[in-house]
Copies of this chain bind each other. A is one copy, B any other.
C-alpha cells in the first residue's frame, strides 16, 4: 500500500516551524491534480493563518490544538462562483447554483483536499482535517468573505508534527464493503463488527475519560449530542441557502 496512505494518522500537535514555501506550493499543486467534475474545477483553496479563523474552528472542537498550532490552514471550498462568472463573461448562462452542483463542487473540494493531505504526508508533515468546518460554515463565510456560490467544505491543518499518535482503530473492512448491493447489517453483525473497537485500548481510555459505559454514548452524548446536531444542521441549511445553493426554484 502507498506509504502515505498506510501510515496516515491525524496529527493535532505541531512544531512552530514554518512549512517551506516550495513544499506548500507542491502540496497545493498536488491538490489541483485530483479529478474534478467535467474538469470544471469547482473548488477553491484559501491559505490562511487568520487567528479569528483558528478561534472559530477551535470552539468545542476535538481538534482545537490542531487549529491553533498548525503553521497553516487550508480551507477547501466548494466553488461554482468562479466558473459561473467565466460563463457569463463568455455570454452564456450558467445554472450551477443548486443542490446537485453543491454536491459536485463538494466532491471536487474533497478529492483535492485528500490529495493535499497525502502530498503533505509524503514530506513528513502531519495533517488533521478539522470537522468544525461545517458547524462554522456561516462564520467562515463572513471571515473569508465568500461570495454566493462558495461554501467551505473541508479544513486541513498542516505542519511539522510534534507527536506521532497511533493509527486510528477502524472497523473491519467487512463493515464498510458490500458486494452487489447494500447488505443490511444484522444486530449480531453489529456486535461482531464493533467488538474489536469497543474493547480497544483507545476505547478503554475514552470510556475512562468520559466516565460512560459504552463507546456509542461518547458520540451521542458528548462529542456530537443530538440537540447540537439539529441546531448546527439548521444553521448549515440556512447557510447553504444564503450562499445560493438552495434557491427558490427548489
Contacts and interface: CB of A to CB of B under 8 A. Distances in A.
Given A114-B115, A144-B181, A181-B46, A153 B96 contact: no
Interface magnitude class on chain A: 35 or more
Interface in A57-115: 62, 77, 82-83, 85-87, 89-96, 98-101, 103-104, 106-107, 110-111, 113-115
6 contacts: A32-B176, A47-B178, A83-B219, A100-B134, A100-B233, A101-B233
Interface of A: 1-2, 4-6, 8, 10, 25-26, 28-35, 37-41, 43-48, 50, 62, 77, 82-83, 85-87, 89-96, 98-101, 103-104, 106-107, 110-111, 113-115, 117-119, 122, 128-129, 131, 134-135, 143-147, 150, 153-154, 167-171, 173, 175-182, 184-185, 187, 190-191, 194, 214-217, 219-221, 223-226, 229-230, 232-234, 236-237, 240, 246, 249-250
Given A90-B214, A95-B226, A147-B184, A131 B44 contact: no
Contacts of A92: 214, 216-217, 220-221
Tally of this chain's copies: 2
Given A5-B115, A47-B177, A85-B190, 12 more contacts: A5-B34, A25-B173, A33-B167, A47-B180, A86-B190, A92-B214, A103-B134, A104-B134, A106-B106, A107-B129, A110-B110, A233-B250
A85 B191 CA distance: 11
